[in-house]
Structure 1
Amino acid sequence: MEPSVNFYIQSNSTQFKVPTELIKKNFKTAQKLIEKQKKQLASDVSKIQKNPSLPNSMKLEMIRKLIKSFETFQKKLQQVVDKDKEYRDRLTARFDNLNQLSQFTIENDDHSHDTDHDDKILDHHNSNLINWYRDQANILIIDYLIKSNVKTEQSIGMKLLHNLSAVNPKFMKLIDYDLFENFNKIYVSIIENHDLSLVIWWFEDNRNSLKKINSNLEFEINYCKFLSFIQDGKTDEAIKFSQNHLSKNGNISNYSNNEINNYYKNLEKLKSIGGLLVFLALNETDNDLLFSSSLVKNSSRFHSYENLLSDDRWTNLSEVFIENFTKLYGISKNYPLFIYLSAGLSSLKTKSCYCNYENTIFFNENQENLGITNTLLDKKLRGPNHYYKLLNKINHCPVCSPEMFKLSRNLPYAQLITNIFNNPYKLPNGNIYPFDKLTNPTDKYLSDKDSLLRDVKIRDPLTREIFSMEDCIRVYPA
């Protein structure tokens, strides 16, 4: 069945979430800016009114500062207004992009399945629709490249976006490139540079919104900062920092009912760093100098704490950041490109696709001859050529390709029916044959047919496996 208009509307609905969230956030920024300016203006005017004895020159200077402050406010407010317009333009562009599908529809002559739905279907012979599909594919590819390429410089996704936008400017409004560029910068600063400055800035900028989704990001940031002090040998600073920023996380009264899980996770981490501090205290030198981090890590007694100072803490922080970021903006954790590819691959995948446990034709007596090991993850079996060459067969299946192997290996098999035969039976290995073919095999297996039937057994014509008839199930075409 070809995709319908409703399919594309539902699959692209997530494109509207990010601009909507950005509009909400921008509106709150405008509110804060206006409130701040009102308070400042009222305070400045009050100072002038309450001091009538001030010299006129000083009053004039205060008024000039007030005017200058208001001009700065106007510029900031205009920037907020421009952002609001930009985000609304993105929503409009995405609506117009989907609305184009109405131009590529034809009347549906088959009314048998239509009740409340429109009678029009997509005309897949329309060249303009094919061009629309091509643009959608480009959008999916750019989206994937921008999100997955964490390099802040020379981004492949941004290069492709700018190249396509030179021909068709609408691409800039169909992808939230700026948001993901910012995401990449913060992610790289955490995972590669071990720098907390950007993620702290992002947290402060979104503190209220993160509180609503029960974020644990603040604790993870402070946890990493504490361990960085320890790693640098700054034990005193670490203790003071812990008292001011971490100790409160051990009190359950500081958590709401929805944050109880965060409390128990944080409590375990607090216990571990408490043990780390005790160990450091026991290993101070006679001169009361701080024990160096290098000696600490080389100590056999430190083995149970060494993981605390490993890079795992940065990985954990990056994962919490990703979870909060995607949840805050309503972004799917899965790449839309992978969702579309998975749908296509699952419609093509059969038991003959790459070597796997359920593809029994590659095992038994053939296994030793082909040199196939009993593992799906064996790298030498990836791709369309290795075992097919050994079988003297040619395969150009996308499911088997090295590029799609990882994505397709966990997908379900397609329920493909090339023809419908009478009295179909399903064997335990999943293969389906007409019952006559099972009870009356070809001449190749005719010699043992009678003995098998006497034992109430049958042989799979393809894999040559033998099964009891009791284990076979009659099936019916849908």
Structure 2
Amino acid sequence: MTEPTIDFHIQTHQPQFNIPTQLIKKNFKSIQKLIEKQKKQTSDEITKIKKNSKLPTKIQLEMIRKLINNFETFQKKLQVLIKKDEEYRLRLVARLENIVQLSNYCINGESSNLDDQTKGKNSDGDTPPVEETNHILNLHNPNLINWYRNETNLLIIDYLIKSNTNDTENLGLKLLESLSKTNPKLSRLIDFDLFLDFNKVYLSITKAHDLSLIINWFNENKNSLKKINSNLEFEINYCKYLTLIEVGDVNEAIKFSQDNLSSYGNKDNYSVEEMGNYKLNSDRLKGLGGLLVYRSMSSNPLSNMLAFSNKLMFQSQPYREYEKLLSNQRWEDLGYCFIDNFIKLYGITNNYPLFVYLSAGLSSLKTKSCYHNNENTVFKDDSMETSALENTVPHNDYHNGSHNGFPSTQTPILITSAKFNSYTAPTPTTTTTSNPLTIRKFRGPDYYYRLLHKVNNCPVCSPEMFQLSRNLPFAQLITSIFNNPFRLPNGNIYPFDKLLSTTVNNDEYFSEQNTLLRQGQVKDPLTHEVFYIDNCIRVFPA
């Protein structure tokens, strides 16, 4: 089924319920710990007062006042945690109501409102079963369009908050604050506070090269991370060890490795599920001693007699690996490890939800006509230009200037390049002109657009979407189907009636068409190439 349904939106919105659920669990454990701690502390204070009954009254009163102050502080902390719990639960309710709201925009829901007396009843007066209910959404409903507009805003806010690289200002948060003025419920449909904390920790690692925030985050979630077999603690300690080596504090680095890294080399300290971490960690620990030697040689220049051998040694592959360990790559690796643990802990997707939706839309529009925009500097590299020149131009309504593109992303997306599928058209059998359109490098649709005075508004070919769409599969559909379509040897497709038509108010053209038809030939209306009718092939929709 291609029509949008409520079931589809339930599936796509399911991750939105994971984060509040995990936050409620985490907050509940904090409440338990706070209560247990206060209970023990209060019991100890009361026991101390009872055992020292001979203390002066003034001291006993002071101890009681201290006990009361501690209990008031406990109440304030408990109240803060209770408010957090209420906020997280309100988020779940708001997201549930947001999904339930779609039931008002169903096709069957609108038709049933015409008669409230028969609503939910069949011809026998009974309520129909749930499986027979139609959940197809009516895309012409203006309220549904507003609902989709809010969802789009949330996707953009999610992307801007997570991808923010500015330490002082977050554009996603500013956009959320601006939109929340007209729609207060919007802030409860996204866990912006958690994403802000995530972004702050990630930037402290990759930009500030500071381990304090990631250490605090690990300590707060230590028990939960252990359940998912996290290797984050080793990554933190390993990164700290490399930092000590980099600043030249060798003695402290050796002591730190003995206290915090040596245990990771013992296989008995790992569970069966953590054997992958053991192999990875043990291999990295083997190079710690060699790194010390490398650092001592690079920091202490040798005599002139050994200078030549020292230069050769530094150019060898092992020493290049040691140099790489002390580069900024270790901070990037720690950042990736943090992201991996974060998404596993809260059950969220690895990719930006905005990119997932854009990929689905772009894939439905992508055809082999795409990536021929030779005037776009994005397509200027040789490999793509060669591949683009080998492609033919099938019919595609999204390249005729009648569709607008999607909103552009703010930052480029780094995706591994891929080769495009190519198709070589059969060589024309007969031609009567040397029109530049017969040259393969001019076969790109943009050249046709200039001749037809149209603009290429294809979102797949846009500079903003190029990196995201280049690895997506081609759409397995045809947006517009000719009556009796025929494919010429040069790859162009036209309705056969148009190739045979002589109903043009032009005597010269009328005479030429009649002459060609008597010879069993047809002329390409655009390229003006001439082919025998027997060499034309009838094509069918895929």
Q: TM-score range by the shorter chain?
A: 0.7 to 0.9
**C-alpha displacement of 1:312:** 0.4
Aligned position for 1:361: 392
Render the CA deviation track for 1:393-434: whole Å, top value 9, x for unaligned: 631111111111111111222222333878999x9x9x9999
Aligned position for 1:167: 182
Please say if 1:307 is aligned against 2:324.
yes
Q: Counterpart of 1:347 in 2: which secondary structure?
A: helix
Quote the Cα distance in structure 1 between the aligned partners of 2:27 and 2:299.
52
- CA contact under 8 A between 1:152 and 1:184: conserved in structure 2? no
Counterpart of 2:477, as a letter, is L
Aligned position for 1:190: 205
Q: Counterpart of 2:136 in 1: which secondary structure?
A: strand
**TM-score of the pair, normalised by structure 1:** 0.80
Aligned position for 2:356: 339
Please say if 1:410 is aligned against 2:471.
yes
Please say if 1:212 is aligned against 2:222.
no
Aligned position for 1:468: none
Please say if 1:200 is aligned against 2:215.
yes
Alignment of 1:83-232 (within 5 A): 83-107=84-108, 116-232=131-247
Aligned position for 1:12: 13
Quote the Cα distance in structure 1 between the aligned partners of 2:451 and 2:533.
30
Please say if 1:77 is aligned against 2:78.
yes
Quote the Cα distance in structure 2 between the aligned partners of 1:170 and 1:179.
17
- CA contact under 8 A between 1:210 and 1:324: conserved in structure 2? yes
- CA contact under 8 A between 2:244 and 2:252: conserved in structure 1? yes
Quote the Cα distance in structure 1 between the aligned partners of 2:461 and 2:449.
11
**C-alpha displacement of 1:36:** 1.0
**C-alpha displacement of 1:278:** 3.6
**C-alpha displacement of 1:77:** 0.7
- Structure 1: 5+ residue runs without aligned partners? 287-294, 374-380, 451-457, 462-473
Give % identity. 53
Check 1:166–1:282 CA distance in 2 against 1; reply closer, same or farther (3 A cut): closer
- Structure 2: 5+ residue runs without aligned partners? 112-128, 302-309, 373-383, 394-423, 428-435, 500-519
Computed over aligned residues only, the root mean square deviation of the Cα atoms, in angstroms, reads 3.7
Quote the Cα distance in structure 2 between the aligned partners of 1:8 and 1:178.
24
Q: Which moved more, 1:414-423 or 1:271-280?
A: 414-423
Aligned position for 2:344: 327
Please say if 1:66 is aligned against 2:67.
yes
Quote the Cα distance in structure 1 between the aligned partners of 2:276 and 2:521.
62
Render the CA deviation track for 1:318-362: whole Å, top value 9, x for unaligned: 000000011111111111111221222122111111136476227
Render the CA deviation track for 1:42-95: whole Å, top value 9, x for unaligned: 211121222222222222211111111111111111110000000001111111
Q: Counterpart of 1:18 in 2: which secondary structure?
A: helix
Quote the Cα distance in structure 1 between the aligned partners of 2:392 and 2:184.
52
Aligned position for 1:348: 365
Quote the Cα distance in structure 1 between the aligned partners of 2:441 and 2:135.
54
**C-alpha displacement of 1:310:** 0.3
Quote the Cα distance in structure 1 between the aligned partners of 2:159 and 2:217.
23
Quote the Cα distance in structure 1 between the aligned partners of 2:206 and 2:299.
32
Quote the Cα distance in structure 2 between the aligned partners of 1:155 and 1:209.
29
Quote the Cα distance in structure 2 between the aligned partners of 1:387 and 1:243.
70
Quote the Cα distance in structure 1 between the aligned partners of 2:486 and 2:346.
50
Aligned position for 2:53: 52
- CA contact under 8 A between 1:30 and 1:80: conserved in structure 2? yes
Counterpart of 1:85, as a letter, is E
Q: Counterpart of 1:107 in 2: which secondary structure?
A: helix
**TM-score of the pair, normalised by structure 2:** 0.71
Quote the Cα distance in structure 2 between the aligned partners of 1:29 and 1:390.
69
Check 1:393–1:168 CA distance in 2 against 1; reply closer, same or farther (3 A cut): closer
Quote the Cα distance in structure 1 between the aligned partners of 2:530 and 2:142.
55
Aligned position for 2:377: none
Please say if 1:442 is aligned against 2:473.
no
Render the CA deviation track for 1:128-178: whole Å, top value 9, x for unaligned: 121111111111111111111132322111111001001111111111110
Aligned position for 2:455: 394
Aligned residues: 431
